[in-house]
Structure 1
């Protein structure tokens, strides 16, 4: 069975390289190329490829947005992310958006061929580095919930209060405010005030 492909990457040299790899093998047919996520969605609808090789970080519509839109449209193409990034902030959103697989660009040719064939069959494909990262996430102990006082401190920080202001408003020492913030950072898995506020909002801890 010939697997049909759509290659999506904002670098022409990468697209050329991938086209060359797959064109040289009789088991694959490259139907088209896209330079960003919006083009990928458009071409996927018209060309109906079996598998879309999708880069993640592209100008305009990125890979995750494109994967999300393809899922919304009910497009049957399997999306195999092919990227240089294996960080949690890249891997998890792509998998959650509906990517069938996630492979790094330094994968050997044979591994790439196997991954595309497996993706075409609807099988999940993860590079070893990505698989171990996801397993680590799943095995990580559940984060402790924030205490009421930690939420109060973060709420004030979110409203622009300094540690000194928060201490006055809560009738506690500035050192105690710092301690609450450090505990909140650890529980939220962040390193600074801005990230703590962003994550707390995302989890619905600070209201709207």
Structure 2
């Protein structure tokens, strides 16, 4: 049973469809199965940043009162970043005080991508990264690139596969897909017309 009202569920599924069909630059959403409360995506490290060349998996956890309250965001890929804690929790105003119910999954993912371009040292969850960003950017960038090279290489193949035309298909729920597969394998009796019945009697 879904934790969301029908209207919210349809809105989430619709947005996932749109994100799958026309993904934002450097972002690929991982198709959900039955649980729409957990949205995952890959974000490619933007060019010209210490995260360039890396592929970062992020997860959004939607609560029962979404979109009234914002989801929680986490980096599943380890990253050295002022606004990401050692456990992966993301500190970003869009997910907290600046949240508005009309914002959606796309807005959140784009905001997280922007954090990779412009970290905010003033709201640091990783104090070491925040201090280094303020005191010595070159050292901060060097350490961030080191993390990127070690931790953020494994998602490249899945990111590229999700972005291929063959995989750029609309999102459908697991239950709906199972129903469609079941109906497609059901055998039906051939239709015998009146003319065919008369012809068979003459034989």
Q: What TM-score do the two structures reach when normalised by structure 1?
A: 0.26
Task: Judging by fraction of residues, say which structure has more helix.
Answer: 1
- Structure number with greater CO (CA < 8 Å, separation at least 6) is 2
